[in-house]
Amino acid sequence: MTTLELLQLLGQGLLETLYMTLISTFLSYLIGLPLGMILTVTDKKGLRPNRAINLALGFVINMLRSVPFLILAVAIIPFTRWIVGTSIGSTATIVPLVVAAAPYVARMIESSLREVDAGVIEAARSMGSSDRQVLFKVMVPEAKPSLLVGATIATTTILGYSAMAGFMAGGGLGTIAINYGYHRYNTEIMLYTVALLIIVVQVMQEAGLHLTRRLDRRRRAE
């Protein structure tokens, strides 16, 4: 393989990985964000406690989260085929990624929102805020730094899952690492993909933390 071919291979893999990761993160938040809010709101100490909804939703989320990603991905292959028409390649991998990550995102959202100081919520209520206003005008903005840290962690976790999907021809850097490193014993290419993955995670992590620091209006002192 020439250097150019190698670069093309890795470049293609990197693009696929970023595509899967970003689209999956976006879709996971689309589903996980409202679920996380519902978990928070229906909690015993939430704005509208509702034991039935909270328990049911919590159960489904825990169940999905307790299945290891690869097993989950295999188990839902029929579902993936039904949605995408195939179960291999990066677009197909988005399905199990979202199914695995959305519950994870929901829990992260829940824990971020739960961190908001009860006193601050009480103050908002004393000013006549409705439950909706407390959630959207107080809890979400107050939890912003924690939500951003959560989003950073979620993105890098999804990136890790996407690499695992290489075992089932999921596309991206993971598949390259498996094909060359595992099936053909080409350690060199595998090391390149690993290095690329490390760099991508580092960049995402730093960018996320940088953004959080810039947007958090509390000063460092505390």
Partner 1 sequence: MNKQDNIILKVENLSKVFAIKPEPIEALTDINLEIYAGEIFGIIGLSGAGKSTLIRCLNLLEKPTSGRVFFKGRDLSSLPKSELLELRQSMGMIFQSFNLFQQRSAIENICYPLEIAKVPREQRLARARELLELVGLPDRETATPSELSGGQQQRVAIARALATSPSVLLCDEATSALDPSTTDSILALLKQINRDLGVTIVLITHEMSVVERICDRVAVIDRSRIVEVGSVTDLFVHPQSAIARQLVFPGGELVERLTGDAALRIVFDGESSFEPVLANMVLACQAPVNILSADSKNIEGRAYGQMLIQLPDDPAAQRRIREYLNSRKITFTEEIWNDNA
Q: Which residues bind partner 1 (CB under 8 A)?
A: 117, 119-120, 122-130, 133, 137-138, 141-142, 144-145, 216-219, 221-222
Inter-residue contact 36 to 109 (CB < 8 Å): yes
Q: Which is nearer to partner 1, 71 or 221 (CB)?
A: 221
Residue 222 beta carbon to partner 1: minimum distance, rounded to whole angstroms: 6
Measured CA to CA, the distance from residue 186 to residue 1 in angstroms comes to 11
Helices 3-42, 144-164: axis angle to 10 degrees equals: 130
Which one-letter amino acid corresponds to residue 196? Answer: L
Residue 116 beta carbon to partner 1: minimum distance, rounded to whole angstroms: 9
Residue 53 beta carbon to partner 1: minimum distance, rounded to whole angstroms: 20
Q: Is the dihedral of CA 33, 36, 41, 45 positive or negative?
A: negative
Q: Which is nearer to partner 1, 73 or 124 (CB)?
A: 124
Residue 170 beta carbon to partner 1: minimum distance, rounded to whole angstroms: 39
C-alpha dist (Å) from residue 59 to 24, 63, 163: 23, 6, 28
Q: Which is nearer to partner 1, 132 or 184 (CB)?
A: 132
Q: Which is nearer to partner 1, 56 or 215 (CB)?
A: 215
Structure tokens at 202: 């580092």
